[in-house]
């Protein structure tokens, strides 16, 4: 047998032993599973003997062939589970795992935590379901080293019980008197040593947020627990200021001028940024012309700029009770990229034609400029719709009242059409927080 043939057969045998669905079998059954012919019998026996002698395979007391020891390393992200064990989700799907994840017993996790990037050594050991097991060799990158918890004292020493279930045991605080925390204070800690099966964790307090249960403390806790950014880099702020100075509402080159149209926004009463507006008209033949206008944020953000990179890092604006962490600096999110009343703003507009029976006939997408005629809160709209001749309606521009009436008519038409086509209407309660005098 040629050396190359031996290596090929060896690779076939190892691949079979390491396959996720492999169940230990005797050499004869293994040869049949590999679909080897009689002429390959001696080669198979010799190759298998070499694997057994070199420790890459083993034979149990029933004569069945099993893989042995470590079978390589890979990297991935840890996800711990409530039992204390965890899984590693590989960065690259491994053929021998068939795209599956790697199970890590609690004793083999070391001090790795959920979200950490790790290097894991694959083991030949399997779970009863056939999943490959592994052992964390080292943590490559921590998901976070900052956590929020509650200060407690036990046996004359200071500890912090971390919020959530990630750390079941309190974390010892080094030099706990440095910041003078008091019982039940919510604090931010920086982990010095992560806890593992073999040793306790240790941390230092970096900030005291306040007494647990005090107004605003829960919001601060969420911000620090999730690592939400609260400040913009100076470079991103400078680019936002530069974008505002370049904006000229009279320069509409390349944009459709819709500033004379009746266009409104409808948002919650406590909204701070207004990023979508609507317009609606109707032709003599009954065709509806619906305009949906979205603030053209991209026109103020240069791809690859510091502003763009910071927006990508944040991903979205985060809305907390009584507090907003914007994706873009407020110069933009509450300024030029907000469709404020009586201000000219640039938009991405979709102009949709709808037939009298509610069918969409076509749509055009335009870069446009609009002027928001009226900023409504939701609770202001229904009195005007219900009583078009009532006091609320009489206080409004007749064009706006007509627009609201037409919007309601089209909305009911589209709702009936959806219902006839089998749409399911689910009435799910909406939860809101009502703060008065700093109390919920």
The tens digit of pLDDT for each residue in 202-231 reads 999 999 999 988 878 888 999 988 889 989
CA atoms within 13 A on the CB side of 42: 3
Q: How far is the CA of 229 from the CAs of 204, 210, 300, 328, 336, in angstroms?
A: 21, 20, 21, 11, 22
Place of tokens 């998901």: 143
Q: Residue ranges of the domains in the chain?
A: 3-67, 70-141, 146-225, 247-420
Residue-level pLDDT at 413: 96
Residue 58, strand partner residues: 66
Hey, CA dihedral for 111, 117, 123, 125, is it positive or negative?
positive
**CATH number listed for the domain at residues 3-67:** 1.10.10.10
- Tell me whether the CATH fold assigned to 70-141 matches the one assigned to 146-225: yes
Helix, coil or strand: residue 237:
helix
Q: Which fold has domain 70-141?
A: OB fold (Dihydrolipoamide Acetyltransferase, E2P) (2.40.50)
The alpha carbon of 413 is separated from its chain's Cα centroid by a whole number of angstroms, namely 36
pLDDT at 177: 64
Topology of domain 146-225, CATH: OB fold (Dihydrolipoamide Acetyltransferase, E2P) (2.40.50)
Beta strands in 271-397 (DSSP E): 276-282, 288-295, 318-320, 323-325, 344-354, 360-371, 374-377
Q: H or E segment at 135?
A: strand 132-141
Rounded mean pLDDT, 363-382: 95
pLDDT tens digits along 373-417: 999 999 999 999 999 899 999 999 999 999 999 999 999 999 999
């Amino acid at each position: 047998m040629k050396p190359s043939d031996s290596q090929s057969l060896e690779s076939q045998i190892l691949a079979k032993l390491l396959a996720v669905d492999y169940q230990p079998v005797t050499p004869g059954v293994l040869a049949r599973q590999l679909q080897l012919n009689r002429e390959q019998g001696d080669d198979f026996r010799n190759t298998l003997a070499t694997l057994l002698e070199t420790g890459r395979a083993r034979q149990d007391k029933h004569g069945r062939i099993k893989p042995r020891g470590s079978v390589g390393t890979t990297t991935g992200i840890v996800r711990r589970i409530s039992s204390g064990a965890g899984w590693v989700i590989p960065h690259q799907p491994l053929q021998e795992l068939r795209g599956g994840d790697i199970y890590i017993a609690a004793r083999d996790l070391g001090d790795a935590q959920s979200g950490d990037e790790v290097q894991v050594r694959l083991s030949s050991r399997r779970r009863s379901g056939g999943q490959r097991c592994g052992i964390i060799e080292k943590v490559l990158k921590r998901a976070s080293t900052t956590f929020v918890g509650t200060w407690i004292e036990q046996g004359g020493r200071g500890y912090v019980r971390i919020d959530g279930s990630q750390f079941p045991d309190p974390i010892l605080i080094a030099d706990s008197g440095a910041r003078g925390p008091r019982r039940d204070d919510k604090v931010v800690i920086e982990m010095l040593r992560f806890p593992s099966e073999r040793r306790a964790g240790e941390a230092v307090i970096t900030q005291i947020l306040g007494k647990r249960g005090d107004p605003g403390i829960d919001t601060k806790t969420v911000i620090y627990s999730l690592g939400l950014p609260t400040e913009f880099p100076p470079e991103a702020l400078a680019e936002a200021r530069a974008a505002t100075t370049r904006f000229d509402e009279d320069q509409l080159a390349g944009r459709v001028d819709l500033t004379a149209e009746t266009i409104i926004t409808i948002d919650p009463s406590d909204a701070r940024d207004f990023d979508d507006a609507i317009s609606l008209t109707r032709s003599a033949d009954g065709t509806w012309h619906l305009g949906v206008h979205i603030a053209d944020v991209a026109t103020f953000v240069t791809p690859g700029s510091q502003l763009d990179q910071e927006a990508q890092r944040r991903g979205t604006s985060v809305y907390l009770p009584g507090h907003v962490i914007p994706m873009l600096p407020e110069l933009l999110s509450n300024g030029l990229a907000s469709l404020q009343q009586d201000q000219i703003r640039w938009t991405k507009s979709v102009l949709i034609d709808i037939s009298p029976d509610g069918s969409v006939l076509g749509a055009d997408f335009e870069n446009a400029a609009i002027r928001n005629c009226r900023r409504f809160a939701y609770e202001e709209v229904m009195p005007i719709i219900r009583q078009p001749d009532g006091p609320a309606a009489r206080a409004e521009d007749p064009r706006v009242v007509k627009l609201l009436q037409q919007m309601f008519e089209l909305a009911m038409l589209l709702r009936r059409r959806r219902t006839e086509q089998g749409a399911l209407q689910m009435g799910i309660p909406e939860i809101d927080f009502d703060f008065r005098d700093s109390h919920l």
